[in-house]
Amino acid sequence: MKRDDSQQHRAAHAVRQLALRFRSDAEDDGAQARLVGILSLPAAPRPRGVLIVTGGPQYRVGSHRQFVLLARALAAQGVPVLRFDLRGMGDSEGAARGYRAAAPDIAGALAQFFDAVPSLREVALWGLCDGATAAACHAPRDARITALILLNPWVRSSTGLARATLRHYYLRRLLQGAFWRKLAAGGVRMGASLAALRRVAAATQQRAALEDDAPAPALLRALAHFQGKVLLILSGDDLDAREWQSLLDGDPAWRAVAARGQWTQAQVDGANHTFASAAWRGEVERLCARWLQSW
């Protein structure tokens, strides 16, 4: 075993996994819930930690155990990491409220994180999909949050989905040789395909002037107010990532926010929404670790 590998092996074994239980107070009705989290604590924790904010029908393990493996990988390099169940999910109490009402749970997790790791001075919030959106919307509320790591942030709207589908599915299909071979062999129902395309185009036109494209406006306001660093990681093969990119391409306000000096953007080529393969997941881990060590 090489010396570097041996050192990393010892560091990984020096990480403790601690189960934590803490309180969250809902902002609207004052309802309390006891939440459950797992702290990956290095023997000598660095003053900058990572709080993983889950989203969707997820709990603290994550799809394909992504959150577990990420936490352990970062902790092996000295970064303390807390991952937890939002209320109503996993082992946490209460009724599920969704990402729009995640602020009290994130605040409760932050309080527990700083209490459990006295050497902690600042935190980066890490989130995937609507977990990323929840993290970004909460970040301006707490000065101890100095960074965001956002993977395929949730900016879903009917208009955005229609545009992304038109641009990144239908147009891409027209450039594929397999499509034209299938068409020549009579394997494509052109009438049905054109009807579907017209429906998508009509939906885009009809809804563009009617909807507020939430959650994009709230996310834009939060990111405009947040003065910390941001690492944006997009999947190469994901409609949510393409919706985000469409916002940057089509809206000067979004471009202005993303063009700030503290922003870093990366893409994992070929990856799906949840970075399901070991190679894609490993690339996310490397991107996060290098970025956290760069400042």
DSSP one-letter code for 50 = E
Q: What pLDDT is stored for residue 246 in this prediction?
A: 87
Residue (of 157, 146, 148, 56) closest to 102 by Cα position: 56
- The beta strands (E) that lie in 72-213 are given as 81-84, 122-128, 145-151
Q: What pLDDT is stored for residue 98 in this prediction?
A: 87
Residue 166 and residue 172: Cα distance in Å, rounded? 9
Q: pLDDT tens digits for the chain (295 residues)?
A: 344 555 555 555 689 999 999 999 877 677 899 999 999 999 999 999 999 999 888 999 999 999 999 999 999 999 999 999 999 999 999 999 889 999 999 999 999 999 999 999 999 999 999 999 999 999 999 999 999 999 999 987 545 444 545 454 545 555 556 645 665 666 556 556 556 555 544 544 444 443 444 688 999 999 999 999 999 999 999 988 999 888 888 899 999 999 999 999 999 999 999 999 999 999 999 999 999 999 9
Q: What pLDDT is stored for residue 48 in this prediction?
A: 98
What number of H helices and E strands is found in the chain? 12, 8
Query: Distances from the Cα of 280 to the Cαs of 34, 38, 150, 257, 273, in angstroms?
Result: 34, 24, 15, 27, 10
* Distance in Å from the first CA to the final CA of the chain: 31
**Within 13 Å and on the Cβ side, how many CA atoms surround 73?**
17
Residue 224 and residue 221: Cα distance in Å, rounded? 5
Q: What pLDDT is stored for residue 6 in this prediction?
A: 59
Q: What pLDDT is stored for residue 247 in this prediction?
A: 87
